[in-house]
Amino acid sequence: MPHFSTVSKRRLASCHPYLQEIATRAIEVMDFSIDCGHRSQVDQERAVREGASKANYPYSLHNANPSQAIDVAPWLAKRPH
């Protein structure tokens, strides 16, 4: 059964409880990692520079505390050819 890594759990803990509940239910169905929850000002400015966000600090939902946004990355099982 899929489960969150220690890093994903730490990132998820920075998110609003509703997002935590949704992610906890979703991991039961599909394996994925939590890439980002809360972003500090430095992290948000980096995300804008790198093209991962268009919102300057403090206007991203990631900048709320707890975070009102979550970034995830699915772990897709390899399919036989």
Query: Is residue 7 pLDDT above 80, yes or no?
Result: yes
Q: Mean pLDDT over residues 42-50, rounded?
A: 98
pLDDT for residue 76: 81
pLDDT, tens only, 21-31 = 999 999 999 99
The tokens for 26 are 């979703």
pLDDT, tens only, 60-73 = 999 999 999 999 99
Query: Is residue 79 pLDDT above 60, yes or no?
Result: no
pLDDT for residue 80: 55
Q: In whole angstroms, what is the distance from residue 80 CA to residue 33 CA?
A: 23
